[in-house]
Each structure stands twice: as C-alpha cells, then as structure tokens.
Structure 1
C-alpha cells in the first residue's frame, strides 16, 4: 500500500494503480473470510478499506468520477465493519473531493464535516487539520467567505498541535504545512483573491517535497492561474511550463489536464490576441489535451 501511495505521489492516478489497489483489497477480503478471530477479521477489513480508498483516489485523480463513487461506497462500508475511524476519515475526505469535482458543493461540505466528526479527527490534530482544510474549500466553493476563512483558521491551529515525529500512515504523508498552503491557495482562488492565492502557492512550492511530483505540478498550475487573473500573462504562461517539465515522462493525470484546460480557456478570455497566449497554445495544447 505504501508503494502504491508513492507511485500516486510521483505519477498521479491511473488505471494500473486502480487495478493493483483493488487486487490488494480482494486479497484482504478473501483472507478475512477464514480469519480465526474477530480482531483479525476487522484488521483485514481495515486493510481492504484502505486499498479500496486508494483505488477510489486513483479514479478521482484520473477524473473517472463514477467509478470513484462506487469504490468510495464500498470503502466506507468496509471501514464501518472494521470500526476503523482513520479509514472512515480517509473516505470522507475523498468523498468531499469527489463532490467538489462534480460541483456538488453542499455535499462536499457535508462530507468534510463528517470527516471532522470521526474519532480519528477528534483524537489526531493532523487528521483534524486536513478535515477542516477540506471544509474550507467546500465553503469557498459556495462563496461563503467567513466560514471558509474560519475553517482555514481551525486547520492552521490544529496543524500546530500535530507532532511531526509521530509515525503516520502512508496515505496522509502528503499533508503538512506545504499541503495546507496549497489548499489555502485553492480557498483564496475560489474566493476571488488571486494575490493571496499566488502568495500561498509560492509558499507551498517552497515547502513541498520534490517527491510529490504531481502535487508540485498542480500547485504550479494554480500559481499560474493566479498570475493570469492579475494580468501577468507572459509570467503565467512561463510558469505552466514548469508543470509540464515536472511530469515529463509520464501521462498527465486527469485532474492536472483539467486544470490546464481551465488555464487555457482563461488565457484566451483574458488575452486572446497576446503573442504569449498563441505561443503557449502552439507549444502545449497537444500535450495537455491528449496526454
């Protein structure tokens, strides 16, 4: 499972990762049928829930949203039988992301608040911080500025209480000050504050590990979008070039392609006749639309 997480962080979600995760889940479910005790059965169901959540996440990242929803439902069912609140939090976190991608913002807020209510979030400040940050994005998507900023404040406060030396599961290894800065950039972008979004993206890139190649690429495109919304057309076009370089050698994950498509549309809305815009389209359009 840790190896699959590392693959996701470097390359992003893809079909082979989904298949491998589902195979792991099936093996764990098969083993639990012959387990000699309830404790062992629950632990194996917990493993299966996490594997299935990994498959769901791969689909979310690859923009295979209907398949993601099916996997999340199964992962939540197994997490409940396993009585694993960390797995439940993980599923609710992904459900909030899926709802956001489907523009179901009320459901996104409800899912992130369900993550906040899990035992894992109540006991672990790192998990609590992630759940509050996801709630902030849900509020911002609905244009609710004060609730969004309040949730961000809760996320920041919780993160200061998290002990960075405490061992954590591989799936949440991505989360920390860098990722919170990246999520803050999303909130600020959704609230129509591109200067704040740009600053938060710069902060995230300064802190993000080089191994989180997909996350760095997406934050880079978010930085470019913030620059573009402030009229910095040439700078924005140059910034996106770094995102393509980061993912060189691998197909672009679906979420990243979607972000680049949004950038392209905004670019030709803001500066349809700019030389930099035409040059960007000539250089990158084929890659982001077909990768």
Structure 2
C-alpha cells in the first residue's frame, strides 16, 4: 500500500489479505450491529488511516476496528489525541456478533488436535465482511496445521466444517459481494479438505471434494480458487498414475485468469506441468516446462501479498519440484543439488514439506549409487515428523525408496533399513 505511515494497520491488512474497501465494509457492518445504523466509513477513510492523516478515529470506529481485528486500536498504529487511556474500554462483545472461534477436536486427538469451527452460538441475521475476515483466518489456521503435520482425516473434517459454516452464512442476508466471497471461502475450505486427503493418500474422496470445490469456485467467480482446484486436480491425477490427465489439469491451471495475470501463479502451473510430463516420460517437454517455471518465478514480484492457498510456493518449493523432475528424467545429481537448495530455504514451519523433500533427496542419492548415504538421509524423515504419523503421500515415496533400495543396494542394506523403519514407515 503506497504512501503509508501507519505500518501496523498496513501490516495487519496485508496479513489478512483485506483491501481498504473490505475493511471499510467490515467496520460499517460492526457499527450497524452496535448502533442499528450502518457506519459511514469509506475506502477514502481507510486510506486516511493508513496515511496517518487520521491518527485517532471516532469512538464508534475504534470500537468496530477492535472487534474486526481483535486487537486494541493502539496495536493497529493509532495514537490518542491527548494523554489518556488509549481507548475507552470496549464492552464485552455479544457472542452473536461476528464471532467464529476454533475449539479442539474430539477427545483422543490431544497431541495433534485439529481446530473445528464452533457454530453453536446464535448468529446475527445480517452477514458482513467481518464474517469473511474471520473465516479467512480459519483457513489460514488450517493451512498452518497442514504445513506442520500434513494431511489427515481430522483436517478434512475441520475443513468441511468451515465450508458448511461459509455456506450457512451465505444463506443469510448479505450484499452480493459478501455472498460471492462466502462461496469462494467455501471453495477454499473444500479444496483444503481435498488436499488433506491427497496428502493422506485417499484419492476417491479427494476427487469428490475437488468436484465440489470447483463448482463453488465457479459460483463465486473466483479465479484464484479455480486455479487452486486445477492445481490439486493435477496432483491427484499424478498420484493415481493418470499422467495424461495430470498434464491436462496442469495446463488448465495455466489457462486460468489467475495464471495469465500473474507470473507467480504461472510459475506454479508450469512446474506442475513439468511434473506430469516427467512422469509420462516426455523428458524434453518436462524440462522445457521446468524452464518456463523458473523464468516466470524469476520475473515475479515475490513481495506481493498472496492468497493463503498458494503461500507454500516460492523458490524453495520450485527447487523441491525441480528435484522431482530431474530425478525422473535421469539426472539424480542435479536432483540432489536441487533438494539441498530447497532444504536450505524452506521455512522452519513447513515441517511436512521438509520431510517430503528429504525423502526425495534420499531417492536422488540412491539413484546415484550411494545407498549408505541414502539410508542415513531417509532416517532424518522420521526425526522431522516425530510425534505424527507420516502422511500417505510421504509413505508412498518411502515405498518407492524401499523398492529401489532392494534393486540397487546390497541385500543387507535393504533388509536393515526395512527392519529398522518398517513400523514408522508403513503405518499411519
């Protein structure tokens, strides 16, 4: 956001992917709930907050901002006019006003409890942008959990609960813009449920969820969500060994408006195409697509805010995908180098991705004939994921590793590896 002096507010808006117009709508919605009269905050008002022209909004606007952001206004960069308490005490919020809380999953999953939407509280009759913001936060929480633990059926259930909540809100009075965003959020939640099953290795239900997510994205007319669905469709088809379909889905992702209008998105679509082509045995085309992915990412602005679903992508993920393509086309040395580059730049919070890339590194080392080092590397996977079962997709890669180990390594090495890791590898 240009010409900004209120960096705290700008940072909060960027983190929550909310535009000035959306924030104005959300504040006005909350003022309506407080007072019975729609607020008068405009997009220009928000720009004046961001520029510092307005350093201390009106009281009702402050109260509404605190409700929307769930933060004191002083934490949003606003400064009182005189020396006094930063803001009048905000009365306790009625639980029916714009509240979407997460609670732990059912007893028995304490070690990795999955947040579920609590929907038992009565809701206001009118739905506004603040509801959209809170549901977006819910999606982000689920994505963070996936990055840490990987896909599992409890994550699927939590995601579907979020989709149901969004669709329930969509039935209530709201502007067409808010209704469209709720459809998009329902698509996002449903696609997250599909991804959790793809990662867990349950393709049939994943396909059903993807069909639903794509339909919801169409109703929302949301190009980001359409691309997300095609990206996941490409991954699912590859998992099911339908390589022609994987390539076609990745090319459909390339054709979306999201990919045509963003080099960043285009890079992911080209990389996904390269994976499908490499599995299909079309090595030259795979390397061409990989080159397009690298070129597009080089030209992309990596500082721009991104939708939550694509937050995993960037140079580290492209290195990881490069490692897969290079190994499949018969260049394991370059695959090993790409894996190391990925591991050196992956965020620490991406635990599942780190373990998966480590599995690909072990495969690349094995394919170069270094079985002892490959076994040592593969042991790191179980340390990285300690405390959680390996997702099905990762266990599939380790299955490939075991089969190649039997073929390429001395029998003693393969037997020792299987005896040591069979329990951790084969259960989940």
* Corresponding residue SS for 1:156: helix
CA distance in 2, matches of 1:104, 1:35: 43
Query: Which residue of structure 2 lines up, in the alignment, with residue 55 of structure 1?
Result: 193
What per-residue deviation string (whole Å, max 9, x for no partner) do you get for residues 230-260 of structure 1?
1101000000011110000111111111111
Query: Which residue of structure 1 lines up, in the alignment, with residue 366 of structure 2?
Result: 228
User: Could you tell which deviates more after superposition, 162-171 or 49-58?
Assistant: 162-171
Query: Which residue of structure 1 lines up, in the alignment, with residue 215 of structure 2?
Result: 77
Pairing 1:137–2:269 present: no
What per-residue deviation string (whole Å, max 9, x for no partner) do you get for residues 28-55 of structure 1?
1111122333222111000000000000
Among candidates 268, 292, 301, match of residue 154 of structure 1: 292
CA distance in 2, matches of 1:240, 1:56: 27
Pairing 1:290–2:427 present: yes
TM-score, normalised to structure 2, is 0.67
Among candidates 300, 304, 313, match of residue 166 of structure 1: 304
What per-residue deviation string (whole Å, max 9, x for no partner) do you get for residues 136-165 of structure 1?
111111111221111111111111122222
Unaligned runs of 5+ in 1: none
Which structure is richer in relative contact order (CA contacts within 8 A, separation 6 or more)?
Answer: 1
Query: Which residue of structure 1 lines up, in the alignment, with residue 141 of structure 2?
Result: 3
Query: Which residue of structure 2 lines up, in the alignment, with residue 244 of structure 1?
Result: 382
CA distance in 2, matches of 1:170, 1:81: 20
CA distance in 1, matches of 2:283, 2:427: 36
* Corresponding residue SS for 2:224: helix
What per-residue deviation string (whole Å, max 9, x for no partner) do you get for residues 79-123 of structure 1?
001000000000000000000000101110110011011111111
Measured after TM superposition, the shift of residue 9 of structure 1 is 0.4
* Corresponding residue SS for 2:411: coil
Query: Which residue of structure 1 lines up, in the alignment, with residue 246 of structure 2?
Result: 108
Among candidates 395, 399, 414, match of residue 277 of structure 1: 414
CA distance in 1, matches of 2:372, 2:189: 43
Measured after TM superposition, the shift of residue 277 of structure 1 is 2.6
Among candidates 338, 341, 346, match of residue 203 of structure 1: 341
Aligned residue pairs total 290
TM-score, normalised to structure 1, is 0.97
* Corresponding residue SS for 1:134: helix
User: Could you tell which deviates more after superposition, 123-132 or 88-97?
Assistant: 123-132
CA distance in 1, matches of 2:409, 2:377: 16
Query: Which residue of structure 1 lines up, in the alignment, with residue 180 of structure 2?
Result: 42
Measured after TM superposition, the shift of residue 186 of structure 1 is 0.8
* Corresponding residue SS for 2:336: helix
Runs of 4+ in 1 over 6 A off after TM superposition: none
CA distance in 2, matches of 1:23, 1:40: 19
CA distance in 2, matches of 1:222, 1:35: 50
* Corresponding residue SS for 2:373: helix
CA distance in 2, matches of 1:236, 1:185: 15
Pairing 1:260–2:402 present: no
Measured after TM superposition, the shift of residue 220 of structure 1 is 0.5
CA distance in 2, matches of 1:150, 1:199: 19
Pairwise CA RMSD of aligned residues?
Answer: 1.0
* More helix as a share of residues: 1
* Corresponding residue SS for 1:251: coil
| Rg larger for | 2
CA distance in 2, matches of 1:41, 1:35: 9
Measured after TM superposition, the shift of residue 268 of structure 1 is 1.2
* Corresponding residue SS for 1:231: coil
CA distance in 1, matches of 2:326, 2:202: 27
Measured after TM superposition, the shift of residue 272 of structure 1 is 4.2
* Corresponding residue SS for 1:242: helix
